[in-house]
Amino acid sequence: MADIDVSVIIPVYKVEEFLDRCVQSVINQTHKNIEIILVNDGSPDRCPEMCDEYAKQDSRIKVVHKQNGGLSSARNAGLSEANGNFIFFLDSDDWLDLHSIQALYDLIIEHNCDFVRYWPMYAGRKDIPDGTAYNDGKARKVAPGYYDRARIEKEIFPRLIATDKITQGAIVSACRSFYNHDFLKRNNLWFYDNVRYGEDMIFSANVVYRANSFYYLDGPNFYHYFFNSASITKSFKPDRFDVSKKIIEYFERDFSDCTDIDYEKQLALLKMFLVLSALADRHHIENVKERESFIRKICTDPVTVDAMKHIDKADVSLKLKAMLYLIKFKMSKLLAII
């Protein structure tokens, strides 16, 4: 079999309305030496049949049918089937400009790096015009350009897991990087199957920690990130905090022995971020007593109690710091009405 340049892995679940736009944007890429791996993650609609039909029409497409296991499981299934020299993850409700893969391929070859990082464009949001660059790299102070190992350790490691502003780490989504497949294999980099969301945080932190080099592309933007309001990733998740604790467990397992990052500080900041993210779901609970109970459960959890011991480590606004103190002192009734 001739070498395949790029494996494009597309997990598919309940995206019947958007799948064709996504797949056609890959089929019609200017860079033709690719394989397209459609992973049907037990989708209950017409998506499985659509995937099979695409495979009949284009020999570069292979389809993996599996029971529903979540995004991590689907991506791992795609990785297991991938034969390309480089790996590209694409969400099935997003799409690409037609030169995207060629541009990323040229960059990773030119710089001979482990991955290329880029930022997408918004699409489908009511409050932001389509085509607006989605770049929180600026907020996280990630400068564009080439990063060797020394620069990664100096500039990225201080916010590898979380930032002083209580955001996620400097580099998060797996769909915003173009990976050297051999690098992933050498470092045994996979997604944790039993994390149903937030999986990118752990995967991406491990990727950056093990990378010898990467290139950060700050434009042009050619990945269209579609804000699908019906998507599970944007909906209320009553078990979010339980999943967050699982994420923390994995970070503790993977990074607690790492002496070249400020692990204790970053883990505390990550806990604060995950607590705040979980508490944001309180607005979806209409019954006040149920809302208070939801808040109380989070505020009294040992993870939250430990996180709130480190509020002084956060560089945040007075408003957010006040919120943290309300959490620290378990003021669930007040938190329920703000």
Concatenated DSSP letters of 38-80: EEEES-SSSHHHHHHHHHHH-TTEEEEEE----HHHHHHHHHH
Mean pLDDT of the chain: 92
Is residue 138 domain-resident? yes
Q: Write the pLDDT tens digit of every residue in 151-181.
A: 999 999 999 999 888 987 878 889 999 999 9
The domain of 109 spans: 6-226
Does residue 213 share a domain with residue 251?
no
Is residue 303 domain-resident? yes
Q: Are 82 and 172 in contact (CB under 8 A)?
A: no
Is residue 1 domain-resident? no
Q: Write the pLDDT tens digit of every residue in 81-129.
A: 999 999 999 999 999 999 999 999 999 999 999 999 998 887 877 777 7
Among 168, 200, 226, the domain-final residue is 226
For residue 159, the domain's CATH number is 3.90.550.10
Is residue 30 domain-resident? yes
Does residue 183 share a domain with residue 99?
yes
Is residue 232 domain-resident? no
Does residue 257 share a domain with residue 206?
no
pLDDT exceeds 90 at position 48: yes
Q: Write the pLDDT tens digit of every residue in 199-208.
A: 899 999 999 9
Q: Which residues contact 19 (CB under 8 A, 6 or more apart)?
A: 12, 47, 50, 51, 92
Q: From the DSSP assignment, how many helices (H) and strands (E) are in the chain?
A: 13, 11
Among 194, 226, 258, the domain-final residue is 226
Helix (H, G, I), strand (E, B) or coil at 189: coil
Does residue 188 share a domain with residue 294?
no
Integer Cα distance of 214 and 68 in angstroms: 33
Does residue 95 share a domain with residue 39?
yes
Does residue 195 share a domain with residue 317?
no
C-alpha pair distances (Å), 252 with each of 82, 193, 202, 256, 274: 30, 17, 10, 5, 14
Does residue 142 share a domain with residue 35?
yes
Integer Cα distance of 54 and 117 in angstroms: 29
Does residue 164 share a domain with residue 76?
yes
Q: Give the HSE-up count for residue 17: Cα atoms under 13 Å, Cβ half-sphere.
A: 5
Q: Write the pLDDT tens digit of every residue in 187-233.
A: 999 999 988 878 899 999 999 999 999 999 987 788 999 987 655 44
First to last CA, the chain: 61
Given the structure tokens 């009734």, which residue do they identify? 333
Is residue 205 domain-resident? yes
> Which of 208, 308, 198 minimizes the C-alpha distance to 258?
208
Does residue 193 share a domain with residue 54?
yes
Cα dihedral 106, 110, 116, 119, rounded to 10, equals -60
Q: CA 199, 201, 207: angle at the middle one, nearest 5?
A: 105
> Could you give the number of structural domains in the chain?
2
Task: Give the rounded percent of residues in the chain with a pLDDT score beyond 90.
Answer: 80
Does residue 215 share a domain with residue 262?
no
Asked if omega into 220 is within 30° of 0 (cis), the reply is yes
Helix (H, G, I), strand (E, B) or coil at 198: coil
C-alpha pair distances (Å), 216 with each of 104, 119, 172, 318: 11, 9, 13, 32
pLDDT exceeds 60 at position 234: no
DSSP one-letter code for 264: H
Does residue 217 share a domain with residue 243?
no
Does residue 97 share a domain with residue 73?
yes
Is residue 233 domain-resident? no
Dihedral sign of CA atoms 92, 177, 136, 165 in order = positive
pLDDT exceeds 90 at position 47: yes
Among 180, 198, 226, the domain-final residue is 226
Tokens standing for residue 280: 């944001």
Is residue 35 domain-resident? yes
Tokens standing for residue 1: 């079999």
